[in-house]
Chain A
């Protein structure tokens, strides 16, 4: 009976999303239903996490088909941590949306698409089946295709075409890779894949498939050299959509890598994982260079997604219990802070009436709260203690130093400094000095509330690291030993 709980984080948003399609003309009603739904869903995911950490992981075998034959949903420690983070972001997004989403956007199905996105992301985190992972990828991508063009401006169409084409191509590649893997191993169940790949010690063609799969996830997660679609397509939609994309979509790619390269392809570390470290280093560098190269506020934040992805990949590449814990910590931290920064950048752009940093200035006088929040968010992002970014980076870098990846760790430290510089540049440019142009509109309260909520969470994550760390570490410990997951799913 308890195992049905696993389905709820997918079912609730899916059901409400489908329901809200019929109420697209009723703005107030949809907003209230959305509030109730995200709070309910957050409650469910808190209970799910509590249950999984207190007792044992849960598994739902759909239709009663036993593990390797049917489709399964697995809520292990890593999954529930991710589900919890997603629902916190969803709550913040609904708070932000309550003032920023216009009736026209609601009419164009903002809320249904939003809930379908949440359902897809939750499904990707919970599934225990590689083909099912592809299906949930498609669910969340379909929702994102809808969200990115709400508004229908010229730039949105122009950039979303590229976004969609590239994601479509990588999805086709994903299906092909699953077909390869099926022909070699005869299964698409992740636990059984892990078992069978381990039996033959990941010989020859399997490593090739592993790299092909990495290309798929690298495209979704915007790693070098497959990142070029990301920055511009993430800044064209409404800020709440940008925040959702920045916080959730790339992280699904990272989560998939975290799962696949610990559970299935972890036997030829010198071929796959050492390659990851190089990709991670270059991604970090390219990301910060991009962030420094522009004076468009939103673009600076969008480029800052990439070094974060690089950091997480560094943890996966290092592949020790400590660095994996760092990756998970950083993943949770980055979800919260990226959403907060996209919110704040959106508020700032509305306030100033332009996204060009050179035309801003002195807004600390007109909107002190926004300024200080931005300042704290910048410190959190760069990883200044005692905030949450510091804990994640500390674990990652210590892991990298322990495994003697000095070069990558050095790049990581350098890029952290440059990240700080790139975001503080916004703070200095937009908030210091004299007011150059009068602000266009007042900062929206609910927008500040949503960002404040997320920043508070990152501060709690950083200051209360002592309290959260054991949970993260136990999730990482179960990743480093795939046999735990395999035995649990296949019940041997």
Chain B
């Protein structure tokens, strides 16, 4: 199961990086979203996938899932959710004020 999850995370990373290298701003934002999904899946996998047991350790319990990766992912999901929504607004405003959403036109020194 860990192998499948790792491959899935890797695929998400690859797709994310591919989108990140595009010129259109919206594609890049989607790329970062995919990348963060990949990272989250990856954290989950790194903590070993155990099913059917609560994340509680008491005396006498041998089967339990590691609670730490879950806490880490939760934090990380919230952060990437916030950043992605901010980025979408920013991409839109950049498009409005610069009249383009192509990265190759969003560069250069200019009229300052």
- Is B truly associated with A? yes
Interface residues of A, Cβ cutoff 8 Å to B: 131, 135, 138, 142, 145, 149, 152-155, 157-158, 160-162, 164-165, 168-169, 171-172, 175-176, 178-180, 182-183, 188, 296, 355-356
The answer, among A145, A152, A165, A176, for a CB contact under 8 Å with B28, is: A165
Report the Cα distance A164→B36, complex, angstroms: 14
A131-B72, A142-B82, A142-B83 known; A161 and B91 CB under 8 Å? yes
A135 touching B75 in the complex, CB below 8 Å, given contacts A154-B98, A161-B106, A182-B47? yes
Interface string of B90-102 (1 = CB under 8 A from A): 1101100110000
Top 3 A-B pairs ranked by shortest CB distance? A183-B46, A157-B94, A179-B43
Q: Is the CB of B98 within 8 A of A157?
A: yes
Inter-chain contact B90/A172, CB cutoff 8 Å: no
State the Cβ distance, B98 to closest chain A Cβ, in Å: 6
A124 to chain B, nearest CB (A): 14
Residues of A contacting B91 in the complex (Cβ-Cβ under 8 angstroms): 161
Q: Which residues of A contact B36 (CB under 8 A)?
A: 172, 175
A interface: dominant SS:
helix
Residues of chain A within 8 A (CB-CB) of B15 are none
Tell me the residues in window 30-89 of chain B with beta carbons closer than 8 Å to chain A beta carbons. 32, 35-36, 39-40, 42-43, 46-47, 68-69, 72, 75-76, 79-80, 82-83, 86-87
B residues less than 8 Å from A131 (CB atoms): 72, 75
Are A168 and B97 in contact (CB-based, < 8 A)? no
B112 in contact (CB, < 8 A): yes
Shortest A184–chain B CB gap in Å is: 9
Q: Could you show 13 A-B contacts with beta carbons less than 8 Å apart?
A: A135-B75, A135-B79, A142-B82, A142-B83, A157-B90, A157-B97, A169-B35, A171-B83, A172-B36, A172-B39, A179-B46, A182-B72, A188-B72
Residues of B within 8 A of A157 (CB): 90, 93-94, 97-98
Closest partner residue, chain B, to A176 (CB atom): B39
Tell me the bound Cα distance from A161 to B87 in angstroms: 8
Residue from B39, B68, B83, B110 within 8 A of A155 (CB atoms): B110
The closest CB in chain B to the CB of A173 belongs to B39
User: Considering the chains assembled together, what is the distance between the CA atoms of A188 and B76 in angstroms?
Assistant: 15
Select one of A138, A165, A182 contacting B68, CB under 8 A: A182
Measured between beta carbons, the chain B residues less than 8 angstroms from A179 are 39, 42-43, 46, 69, 72
**Residue in contact with A164 in the complex, picked from B20, B40, B90, CB distance below 8 Å:** B90
Q: By the criterion CB–CB under 8 Å, are B43 and A175 in contact?
A: yes
A152 to B96 alpha-carbon distance, docked (Å): 11
Given contact pairs A138-B79, A142-B83, A165-B20, a sample of 19 additional A-B residue pairs in the complex whose CB atoms are under 8 Å apart: A149-B90, A154-B97, A155-B110, A157-B93, A158-B94, A161-B90, A165-B28, A171-B79, A172-B32, A172-B36, A175-B36, A175-B76, A176-B43, A179-B39, A182-B43, A182-B47, A182-B68, A182-B72, A183-B46
Beta-carbon contact of B46 and A180 below 8 Å: yes
Q: Is the CB of A152 within 8 A of B98?
A: no
Distance in angstroms from B95 CB to nearest chain A CB is: 9
How far does the Cβ of B83 sit from chain A's closest Cβ, in whole Å? 6
Q: Is the CB of A160 within 8 A of B90?
A: yes
B42 close to A161 (CB less than 8 A): no
Assess whether A155 is in contact with B43, with CB atoms less than 8 Å apart. Answer: no
A182 to B43, CA, bound (A): 9
User: With A152-B93, A182-B47, A188-B68 in contact, is A172–B98 under 8 Å at CB?
Assistant: no
Chain B hits for A154, CB < 8 A:
97-98
Quick one: closest B residue to A235, CB to CB? B112
Task: List chain A residues, Cβ under 8 A from B47.
Answer: 182-183
Min CB gap B75→A, angstroms: 6
With a cutoff of 8 Å between Cβ atoms, the chain B residues found around residue A175 in the complex are: 36, 39-40, 43, 72, 76
Contacts A142-B82, A158-B98, A160-B90 given; does A178 touch B72 at CB 8 Å: yes
Partner of B32, one of A165, A176, A182: A165
Chain B residue contacts of A296, Cβ below 8 A: 112
Please indicate the chain B residues that have their CB under 8 angstroms from the CB of A135 in the complex. Answer: 75, 79
With a cutoff of 8 Å between Cβ atoms, the chain B residues found around residue A153 in the complex are 97
Which residue of chain A lies nearest to B112 when distances are taken between CB atoms in the complex?
A355
Smallest CB gap from B17: residue in A:
A169
Residues of chain B contacted by A145 (CB below 8 angstroms)? 83, 86, 90
Min Cβ gap A250→B in Å is: 20
